[in-house]
Structures are given as C-alpha cells and as structure tokens.
C-alpha cells in the first residue's frame, strides 16, 4: 500500500529513510506532493509531521485539502516559534551565567523575521521589522502560495485530461465478440508503469468483461509495476491512480 505526503509549508522538508534522502519542497514545485510506500511514509511523517508535513487521502479534495493545508501551516508556525523561543532561552541562560552569547544562524533569523519575534542576542542584529510588518509579509506570502497552488492544480488537471484522452484514443477497442484480444494484449504490454494505473482506473469496469487471460495479463503487469495486488474495486483503482 502507499500514501501521499503533502508539504503545505514554505520550507523544504528533508528526512532520511534507510540511508535514502527524502526531500519534499514547497509549492509550486510539483514534488510538494509525492506518493510513497506506507513504511517510508510513516517514518517520514513521524519525523516531519511536527514541522507541517501532512498526508492526503481519498476524499480530501477541495475543503478537505484546504483543512489539511491549514493544519500543516499551523504546526509549521508552532515549530518555528518554538525554535526561536528555545534560542532566546539559551541566550538568556548564557547571559545569566556570564557566558558568551550564541550567534543565530540564518534559519533562526528567518523564522524570527517571519514571526515578528526579536532575537535575544548581543548588539542585536535582528531586523527592526515590526510585528505588524511581519504579519503583513506573512499574509502576502500565504496568498502567493495559495495562488501558486491553485494554478498548479489546474495545470495538473489539464495534464491528466490530456493523458486520459490519449490513452482512450490509442487503446479504445470495440466491445463484443469482434474484439481482437491479441491486439489488445499487445497494446496493454506497451503501456508503461507511468500510465498503467491511470489506464486501469479509467477502464476498470470494462476490464471486468475481458477474457480471463487478458485480465490475468493486466493483473500480472499491475503487480509487477507497483508491487501491490490488482485493485479490488473501481474506487480502489481510482485512489491508487
């Protein structure tokens, strides 16, 4: 089984799983949503969930996805606030113990600017950005992200429609006893793993009426491509696609 990891924040989120680096950039990068297997997904979500990473499930389109975006960004803001406050607590402790201050790195400075929190440091080099200014900048950035996300959704939808149209045109066969099943099997073998799930989801009901040897070929290639059993029903096929 698999899941979709979704980065609704303005940060590049990184994790490591079994020695493999997993990088999930923010929108509008198309890789801000990626499908991974359950084991890898649970590991990454456990590590990056507090920073705003969320999962998308079947039925999350529209209002459901907007809710996930809000939840992820709220967790991300909480993470940034905790990061900055921890830094300030460290420097407060350093001051009380008469020890040198810790110099903030660029990430800490950026978080502080976004949140409008003044960093506790000697000869303060923090930007004199006011809280009101920080909130305004944050709102503008959020609107830009939302606009980019909607533009990306429209682009992705257009691509899917074009792909489906091409598949239907190239793979359309007549129903009934006159169907050339050998020709159909040849076409099925020419569909690569990138498009096979979409083709199965689009033609799921029609596939149920195919001869057993054709259905067996489809199931065999599906399991070979994705290492999971052939979908049990149309809804499962569409979720996988």
Tokens 């529209």 belong to which residue?
62
Task: Fill in the DSSP letter of residue 103.
Answer: P
Which pLDDT value is given to residue 174? 41
Task: Fill in the DSSP letter of residue 126.
Answer: S
Residue 28 to residue 148: CA distance in whole angstroms: 6
Which pLDDT value is given to residue 148? 81
Of residues 183, 141, 164, the one with CA closest to residue 238: 164
Domains in the chain: boundaries: 2-56, 63-153, 173-240
Which pLDDT value is given to residue 241? 73
What is the gyration radius of the CA atoms in the chain, in angstroms? 25
Which pLDDT value is given to residue 17? 93
For residue 222 the two structure tokens come to 């599906």
Backbone angles phi, psi at 55, to 5 degrees: -115, 150
Which pLDDT value is given to residue 165? 59
Mean pLDDT by 10 residues, the chain (241 residues): 92 94 93 93 94 88 90 96 96 91 94 93 52 67 81 82 66 57 90 87 91 92 87 86 73
Task: Fill in the DSSP letter of residue 203.
Answer: T
Q: 241 by DSSP, 3-state: which?
A: coil
Residue 241 to residue 207: CA distance in whole angstroms: 16
Rounded to two decimals, the pTM is 0.49
């Amino acid at each position: 089984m698999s899941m979709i990891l979704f980065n609704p924040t303005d940060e590049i989120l990184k994790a490591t799983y079994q020695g493999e680096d997993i990088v999930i950039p923010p929108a509008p990068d198309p890789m801000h949503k990626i499908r991974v297997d359950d084991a890898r997904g649970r590991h990454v979500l456990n590590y990056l969930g507090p920073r705003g990473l969320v999962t998308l499930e079947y039925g999350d389109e529209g209002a459901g996805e907007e809710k996930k975006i809000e939840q992820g960004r709220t967790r991300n803001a909480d993470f940034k606030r905790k990061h900055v406050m921890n830094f300030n607590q460290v420097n407060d402790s350093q001051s009380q113990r008469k020890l040198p201050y810790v110099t903030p790195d660029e990430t800490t400075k950026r978080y502080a600017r976004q949140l409008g929190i003044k960093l506790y440091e000697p000869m303060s080099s923090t930007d004199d950005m006011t809280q009101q200014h920080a909130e305004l900048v944050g709102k503008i950035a959020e609107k830009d992200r939302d606009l980019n996300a909607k533009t990306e959704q429209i682009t992705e939808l257009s691509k899917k429609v074009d792909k489906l149209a091409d598949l239907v045109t190239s793979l359309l066969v007549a129903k009934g006893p006159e169907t050339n099943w050998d020709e159909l099997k040849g076409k099925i073998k020419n569909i690569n793993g990138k498009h096979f799930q979409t083709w199965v989801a689009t033609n799921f009901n029609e596939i149920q009426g195919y001869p057993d040897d054709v259905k067996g070929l489809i199931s065999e290639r599906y399991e070979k491509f994705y290492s999971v059993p052939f979908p049990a029903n149309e809804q499962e096929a569409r979720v996988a696609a």
